[in-house]
């Protein structure tokens, strides 16, 4: 069984609650991070992006009010703008897609049972 599994959740999110229920049903040990109360640092966002193999715009909830106010849908998705995106995610953690499950060198955005189960495969 994997060690060091962490799940970033918003308790109000049904997908987060579903992911937690599945992990519990499978007897998985994990740490919960309520990332709205305990926002990630830029370094932590970078680390998670590396594990996901994604860019910051790939995990940004563009439908959120803050994203619309910032005009993020129009922001360039380039290497030069990457830091701007990460800074926005750190400043407004509600913009981070959820739940994010990390373990060892892997991570998934656990928005469905299949994605969560990917983390259970070794």
Question: Which residues belong to the active site?
Answer: 13
Sorted by sequence, the CB contacts under 8 Å of residue 118 that are 6+ apart come out as: 108
b/e code 53-84 from CB counts within 10 Å (16+ = b): eebbbebbeeeeeebeebebeebeeeeeebee
**Residue 27 φ/ψ region, left for φ over 0, alpha for ψ in the -120 to 50 degree band, beta for the rest:** left
The two three-digit tokens of residue 89, written as one number: 């995610």
């Amino acid at each position: 069984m994997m060690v060091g599994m962490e799940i970033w959740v918003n308790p109000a999110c049904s997908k987060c609650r579903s992911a937690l229920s599945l992990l519990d049903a499978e007897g998985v040990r994990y740490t919960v991070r309520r990332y709205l109360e305990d926002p990630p640092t830029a370094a932590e966002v970078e680390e998670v992006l590396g594990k996901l193999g994604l860019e910051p715009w790939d995990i940004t909830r563009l439908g959120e009010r803050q994203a619309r106010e910032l005009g993020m849908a129009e922001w360039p998705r380039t290497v030069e703008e990457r830091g701007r995106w990460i800074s926005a995610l750190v400043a407004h953690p509600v913009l981070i897609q959820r739940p994010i499950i990390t373990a060892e060198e892997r991570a998934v955005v656990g928005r469905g049972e299949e994605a969560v189960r990917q983390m259970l495969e070794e």
